[in-house]
Amino acid sequence: MDFHRLTRDELLYELAVRGVDDIGHETVGAMRRRLSELIRTEQFGDLVFSPTFRLVVETEMLICTEKIAQLYGFVQSRRSIAKNSTEERNVETKLRHLYGRVSRVRLRLTKEGRDQMADRLTNLFNQLGSIEVLVDSKLDATVEPNDPNVQPPTVPLLGAQVVNIHKHQVPVCQWGLKFSGNKQGMSVNAFLERAEELRIALGVSEVELLNSIVDHLEDQA
């Protein structure tokens, strides 16, 4: 994975699943260096999943759905994509990131949970596969950049269509994120970083998050 092509919220996620969560104060560059050091120690193809990472299944499914929709829209908007170009590498990085996220959701579920969410998980994997097919069709396209009569090829999504998730469809109070202040729970920094990641990914304003912060506090907090 080319971590230099990940956004801030994606870097926070990739570090968190590797057990690094007190890094919200760091710059994007510092987070990329930290992730680079961790990736060097990993076996290629392994799905890294720290036991300390708290994954909220429904929230993660919504984030993946939104990011897949954005990626599909980006690829669909291109007339063609040059091989080995920045655009191709960006898409490949996003695909690897999203395949990992969806796979971790499936891994975290119990057998009963996997049975209940089988269709939704399959749909997400199918959508990612459709993006790969679409990218291949764009790479093979020979489109003259100034020819307005040539339309980009389209590849239908497999399964249900990807839809945009707007912030009001995912109320802040339903994120499943809690801070108790207990030693065995999340640290303050980890809580704030996860909240910021979700805020960015789900398109929630800082004001809306602050107004709903009480929904995420429990026990001593």
Mean pLDDT for the stretch of residues 67-77: 92
Is residue 23 a part of any domain in this protein? yes
Q: What is the pLDDT, as a whole number, of residue 26?
A: 84
**Whether residue 65 sits in one domain with residue 161:** yes
In whole numbers, what is the pLDDT of the chain averaged over residues? 79
In a domain? residue 135:
yes
pTM of the model: 0.68
User: pLDDT digits over 168-197, tens only?
Assistant: 455 677 666 777 777 666 677 777 777 777
Indicate whether 220 pLDDT > 70. no
Taken as a whole, the chain contains a residue count of 221
Examine the domain organization and report whether 135 and 81 are in the same domain: yes
Domain that holds residue 15: 1-53
* Confidence at residue 201, expressed as pLDDT on a 0 to 100 scale: 66
* Nearest C-alpha neighbor of 13 from the set 35, 30, 29, 33: 35
Band of the pLDDT at 166, cuts 50, 70, 90? very low
pLDDT at 139 over 60: yes
Residue 145 has pLDDT above 90, yes or no: no
Do 36 and 103 belong together in one domain?
A: no
Q: Are residues 158 and 177 in the same domain?
A: no
CA distance 202 to 73: 17
3-state secondary structure the chain: CCHHHCCHHHHHHHHHCCCCCCCCCCCHHHHHHHHHHHHHCCCCCCCCCCCCCCCCHHHHHHHHHHHHHHHHHHHHHCCCCCCCCHHHHHHHHHHHHHHHHHHHHHHHCCHHHHHHCHHHHHHHHHHHHHHHHHHHHHHHCCCCCCCCCCCCCCCCCCCCCCCCCCHHHCCHHHCCCCECCCCCCCCHHHHHHHHHHHHHHHCCCHHHHHHCHHHHECCCC
| In-domain check, residue 221 | no
Q: Are residues 110 and 130 in the same domain?
A: yes
Residue 54, pLDDT score: 84
In the chain, the percentage of residues whose pLDDT exceeds 70 is: 79
Number of domains observed in the structure of the chain: 3
Position 146 pLDDT exceeds 90: no
Is residue 46 located within the same domain as residue 146?
no
Same domain, yes or no: 103 and 157:
yes
Return the top range by mean pLDDT from 15-24, 40-49, 114-123: 114-123
- Tell me, yes or no, whether 131 and 31 share the same domain: no
- 47 — pLDDT class (breaks 50, 70, 90): confident
Q: Do both 115 and 154 map to the same domain?
A: yes
Same domain, residue pair 120 and 158 = yes
- Residue 102 and residue 157 in one domain: yes
One domain, residues 154 and 175 = no
